[in-house]
Amino acid sequence: MKVIKQLLPGVLLLLVLVLGSVYWYQRDTGDCRQRIDYSNVDLYEDLDRDTLLSPLQEEEYQHVLNDWSNFDLGSDSSHIHQRLKVSTHRELIIMSHDKEGQRHYGAVYLPQQFDSTQQYPLMLWANGLNQKDPTVYVTKNALIDELLQGLPNYFVVIPSYRGQALQTYYTRYCSDGFFGDAFDGATDDALRLLHWTQENFPAVDTQRLALFGVSRGGTVGLLAAARHPSLNCVVAQSGPTNFLLPIVSRRYGKQYRYQFLSREAPLSILREKIIKSSPLFFVDSYPGDLLLIYGKKDWVVPISNGENVAERLSGKSNFEYVKLEGGHSAAYTQQSIRWIKEHNGKSF
């Protein structure tokens, strides 16, 4: 009994620490969620939508291409915040890259049994959009675990986009920026993280770069393909492809207004953001292999998004289009992994 009394304070302290850790893990420890503010979604209530969403003009198209060609992939500085050994026999690195006063976090899983003298392919995972929980979970995530297991000898790179949190086991990192920059802005962040990984890990085989994205991540994948032709292959599933359509602005309602119409800017700038977020107009310039996947029963991102891209890419020899019987969350991960292995250079 005396021994128990002596141990009791230590046991109680341990219990408090455990419960505190669980609470800290479960609550939103960053301020990402508080940054999503819909108060300005009716800022342009009287705007002429016919003018805003009129067909793309050639000079607008050329302006966007010119702007993207001048995009600086480099960061002003970068930091490594955590290095973790994970159960998949990999090392997980949590880093941040800073640009013009904005900090964005990313995760890099090294290949299993990593040897810095060897060359390894890389896959960037572009995550989807969740307005209620702006978080990308890089641990305890079944889908990411599936990718890690299916691609054991790959670098697996995971960005958290602007305004989004990156969550490891018990730590949350909140990236700076406007969460509404969810497509072209997110592509900026993904490409900078990809560039950082190549710069800091000479073991990345730059001839074997892949990208896999679903939903918003599918749009980011198509935009990255158009903007970064050194990507060897891209899998894009269930992503919106044309925000310049009136029916799309009505479909996504408040979310659409939050992303494109909640900040004051001239009409030309508003249109430019919408155009830059619409890969339909640009993806035909991508020279690499592309796998496009949509669900026939997808009511979130209708299959018409895929049909329009498929029509534009008709005749492209290294383009494949898969129509699934299911909806927005239709599973195609294992098939996508096999496709990446087949199309991302030599077998690995």
How high is the pLDDT of residue 44? Answer: 93
On the question of pLDDT at 27 being above 80, the answer is no
Q: How confident is the model at residue 34 (pLDDT cuts 50, 70, 90)?
A: confident
Q: How confident is the model at residue 23 (pLDDT cuts 50, 70, 90)?
A: very low
Read off the tokens for 31: 């301020």
Check residues 35 and 216 and name the one with the higher pLDDT: 216
On the question of pLDDT at 87 being above 80, the answer is no
* Stretch 177-198: mean pLDDT: 97
Neighbours of 224 (CB within 10 A): 27
On the question of pLDDT at 170 being above 90, the answer is no
DSSP 217-253: HHHHHHHHHHH-TT--EEEEES----TTSHHHHHHHH
On the question of pLDDT at 4 being above 60, the answer is no
On the question of pLDDT at 7 being above 80, the answer is no
* Stretch 235-241: mean pLDDT: 98
How high is the pLDDT of residue 3? Answer: 52
Q: What pTM value is reported for the model?
A: 0.90
Q: Tens digit of pLDDT for each residue in 240-292? A: 999 999 999 999 999 999 999 999 999 999 999 999 999 999 999 999 999 99
How high is the pLDDT of residue 329? Answer: 80
* Lowest mean per-residue pLDDT among 2-6, 59-63, 262-266, 327-331: 2-6
* Stretch 51-65: mean pLDDT: 97
On the question of pLDDT at 195 being above 90, the answer is yes
How high is the pLDDT of residue 127? Answer: 94
On the question of pLDDT at 142 being above 70, the answer is yes
How high is the pLDDT of residue 308? Answer: 98
On the question of pLDDT at 236 being above 90, the answer is yes
How high is the pLDDT of residue 346? Answer: 58
Residue % of the chain over a pLDDT of 70: 90
* Stretch 166-172: mean pLDDT: 91
* Stretch 325-344: mean pLDDT: 94
Check residues 334 and 28 and name the one with the higher pLDDT: 334
On the question of pLDDT at 22 being above 70, the answer is no
